[in-house]
Amino acid sequence: MQFTAQYSGAMRLQPTDVGYVLLSLALRQQGNASQADEVLQRGASISANLAEAEKRAEALLARK
């Protein structure tokens, strides 16, 4: 839940496609699939390449 709050706050301040993907993944892990889908749609609406944003998000998570 901590990551969800952090990602939500960051998206209010500076929305990015990668940020929306990360928030979507966090929501999905918490069992909020419908909310995760909505967030991912927001990311898609501002992304030039959502598939690339998803790859970048996965790379960021892999570094933890």
pTM, full prediction: 0.85
Is the Cβ–Cβ distance between 54 and 22 less than 8 Å? no
pLDDT of res. 59: 96
pLDDT of res. 34: 97
Tokens of 31: 């069992």
Q: How many C-alpha atoms does 5 have within 13 Å on its Cβ side? A: 2
Tokens of 28: 């999905």
Q: To which residue do tokens 């970048």 refer?
A: 56
pLDDT of res. 35: 96
H helices present in 1-64, as ranges: 2-13, 17-29, 33-46, 50-62
pLDDT of res. 8: 76
Q: Give me the residues of the chain with pLDDT under 50, please.
A: none
